[in-house]
Structure 1
Amino acid sequence: MHESLFQSFVLIFAGAALIASVALYTRQPLLVAYIALGALLGPYGMGLITNLTLVTEMSHIGIIFLLFLLGLDMQPKALFSVLKKATIIGLISSALFALTGYLIGHLFGFTHTENLIIGMAMMFSSTIIGIKLLPTTVLHHRHTGELMVGLLLLQDFIAIICLMILYSGDVGEVQLSKLGFTLITLPLLSTFAYLFVRYVLLKLIHKFDRFHEYIFLLAIGWCLGLAELAELAGLSPEIGAFIAGISLATSPIAQYIAISLKPLRDFFLILFFFSLGARFDLGLLSDVLLASIVLAAAILIIKPLAFRFLLGRQSETPALAWDIGFRLGQISEFSLLIVFVASNAALIGEKASVLIQATAIITFLVSSYIVIFNYPNPIAVNDKLRRD
């Protein structure tokens, strides 16, 4: 059927309200409900929503707002301090996860190029799940939250390099000129953000802070504007949004902006999880079901163990190391972007694409359950674990 954007929104949000109610009554996590709704209504389910292009593009805004709000909660000095500790852990763990993906892909008969891309997709953990299940008021200003953010940011930088390799159309070969340009652009963009906030934005906020609508509009414009500027400069919009947030973190109005934008963030994140479920082709699942189960199980086991060992070597407590390990025990939305780029470049076949998508969904679901039922989070079904 041909559906309008309005009809799609009616189905998505009315359906999400209904299935979320059922999920809460049955004590299930809401993220699972949104993904299930996408699979049910999408082109491979009932086929009520078939045009996912616009919905998927809009859902990406949720990730951008998520990183912006995260930046608002981070003090620059604390961030640089934690990045020093996270770098070694992030590099070693990413290499281990890539090797795991490559070997399992090889075991199930995928090509060398496909195995490389499967390995790439396994390196990263989900920013959305990791941060959305992290209590804002409890952990963002504590060492656990800061360390998680450092690891996720480092993974974002690695992901950018991987995407540059894929965009070049030749896995294993990177365009050094583009890479050098990116490495130069990052500090320049950060400097621009700092100066613009100090000499323009803060003065505007101070002069017109009585007009809440204007502050709301200014925050959105700054977030999306710097995200777009980052993308034009060869970085990702997510990094641009994070820089936009952290450049405002020392402002006395930062927390007001964060609270104001949370409903807008959640609106777009519902679209993200819906589109994730809707894009999954169930018809091809049987061909890669065993491989996806083995790969997902390996990731769900190896990631917590790796972070527990590496963080323990950095003198972190066992409780904190296990906490972070399980929160980062899935693959990432970047993995799905890698699938999209690699498929368009004809670097992987449909089976390898479905394998990575199935692994993403399985690890998203299982790791969400693990965190929701065992660690403090905003959507816990147990009142003792629920932290906003």
Structure 2
Amino acid sequence: MESGSITFAFFLIFSGAAVLASVALYTRQPILIAYIALGALIGPYGLGYVTDLNLLSDIAHFGIIFLLFLLGLDMQPQALIATMKKASWVAIFSSLAFFSIGYSVAWAFNFAHTEAIIIGAAMMLSSTIIGIKLLPTTVLHHRHMGEMMIGLLLIQDVIAIFVLLVLLSGDLGQFDYMILGKTVIALPIFIGISVLVVKYILLKLIKAFDRFHEYIFLLAIGWCLGMAEAAHLVGLSAEIGAFIAGISLATSPISQYIAINLKPLRDFFLVLFFFSLGARFDLSLLIDILLPAIVLATLILIFKPIIYYGLLRNVSERKPLAWDIGFRLGQISEFSLLIAYVAAGASLIGTEASHLIQATAIITFIVSSYIVIFNCMTPIAVSDRLRRD
């Protein structure tokens, strides 16, 4: 995508996505698969019509930020705190189990020790985008299952931040504990400041000018992106900043109006995210990592639901809920892709290890989407019985 051709690139992406999405819906396939397939088809390793993936990835990152902001708007702080106390043990023990699976498979296929550690770390996480995009907003976000899923994903986000801090130090053995300490101290201060700003500034502005819908829209976007950037500056992730921005507004009576009006904007950026996921993958390297990727993805898809089920049952969750959460979180994460990119950029892993993580992400994203769409309530289910918005 050369300078001045971003309009042409967007034309290809969204027109192509519309065509493939139509085919997917007529053939009763998950619509997310169409976006990934389009990226592989017209990206730099396919026909080469769209090549500036760094720009698209930066733009697509907004989709994740808005997704977390909308999640926060749908949550009540008291319920989330209570749920996270229970979810913390599940998240920690499940992460250790998934790390062991990733490390063992990487070691069995003769990857270096450092590469095996990073591959294991990438397997610990589940996808916020897949898990939440396929979760019915009005049906489940206010139920216990939605609260438990979000609690698990938020704790995993903290784990992902820790892993990225280690990788960004440039050496697994030279971690900067000052950075970690700064992050741990910054989180409660950040939350406190956001609550005060909402209480004494934002809510007063909303009350004064709530009849001007355009102003409320701009205020919400500014608050979301401002908190995301502030979180990044203090060592947290932009995603956590956006979530805190949303949950601090959740008690406002206008929160649902904001959530409804931002959904189209979120979906616009998420199309770009899944497109860039398919476009980033170098198909020419697939033959070198195909077998370990299939083995690793198969183990993740089998054992993630089972491990989540066992741990959730151990904290007294009902059987149907435990299985439902297990299948919805039965893939690896977009943070796993970020771990692969950062580790490869720091020369901690080679190209094959990076592509193993990427291939495993794509396989688990696709298969997990099929499992959820054909068996669970979701906004894009192919069955009318399961379709819930």
TM-score (norm: length of structure 1): 0.99
What's the counterpart of residue 227 of structure 1?
A: 228
Q: Distance in 1 between matches of 2:355 and 2:234?
A: 31
Which residues in structure 2 correspond to 1:245-284 (within 5 Å)?
A: 245-284=246-285
What's the counterpart of residue 49 of structure 2?
A: 48
What's the counterpart of residue 82 of structure 2?
A: 81
CA shift at 1:174, angstroms? 2.4
Matched, 1:323 2:310: no
Amino acid at match of 2:111: F
Q: Distance in 1 between matches of 2:174 and 2:317?
A: 37
**Post-superposition CA distance 1:82-119 (Å, at most 9, x none):** 00000000000001101110010000000000000001
What's the counterpart of residue 340 of structure 2?
A: 339
Question: Could you tell me the percent identity over the aligned residues?
Answer: 68
* Secondary structure class of the residue paired with 1:92: helix
Q: Distance in 2 between matches of 1:87 and 1:246?
A: 19
CA shift at 1:172, angstroms? 4.3
What's the counterpart of residue 144 of structure 1?
A: 145
> Kindly tell me: are residues 319 and 173 of structure 1, through their superposed partners in 2, closer, same or farther at Cα, counting changes over 3 Å?
farther
Amino acid at match of 2:337: L
What's the counterpart of residue 363 of structure 1?
A: 364
Q: Distance in 1 between matches of 2:302 and 2:154?
A: 22
CA shift at 1:364, angstroms? 0.1
Which residues in structure 2 correspond to 1:80-159 (within 5 Å)?
A: 80-159=81-160
What's the counterpart of residue 67 of structure 1?
A: 68
CA shift at 1:2, angstroms? 3.8
* Secondary structure class of the residue paired with 1:258: helix
Q: Distance in 1 between matches of 2:294 and 2:172?
A: 26
Q: Distance in 2 between matches of 1:348 and 1:170?
A: 11
Q: Distance in 2 between matches of 1:51 and 1:88?
A: 41
Amino acid at match of 2:262: L
Which residues in structure 2 correspond to 1:345-384 (within 5 Å)?
A: 345-384=346-385
What's the counterpart of residue 34 of structure 2?
A: 33
Give the gaps of 5 or more residues in structure 1.
Answer: none
CA shift at 1:176, angstroms? 1.1
Which residues in structure 2 correspond to 1:1-20 (within 5 Å)?
A: 2=2, 4-20=5-21
Q: Distance in 2 between matches of 1:350 and 1:202?
A: 49
Q: Distance in 2 between matches of 1:170 and 1:351?
A: 19
* Secondary structure class of the residue paired with 1:368: helix
What's the counterpart of residue 304 of structure 2?
A: 303
Q: Distance in 2 between matches of 1:172 and 1:226?
A: 32
* Secondary structure class of the residue paired with 1:250: coil
Amino acid at match of 1:87: S
Q: Distance in 2 between matches of 1:134 and 1:238?
A: 18
What's the counterpart of residue 161 of structure 1?
A: 162
Q: Which runs of 4+ in 1 moved over 2 A?
A: none
What's the counterpart of residue 287 of structure 1?
A: 288
Matched, 1:212 2:232: no
* Secondary structure class of the residue paired with 1:86: helix
Give the gaps of 5 or more residues in structure 2.
Answer: none
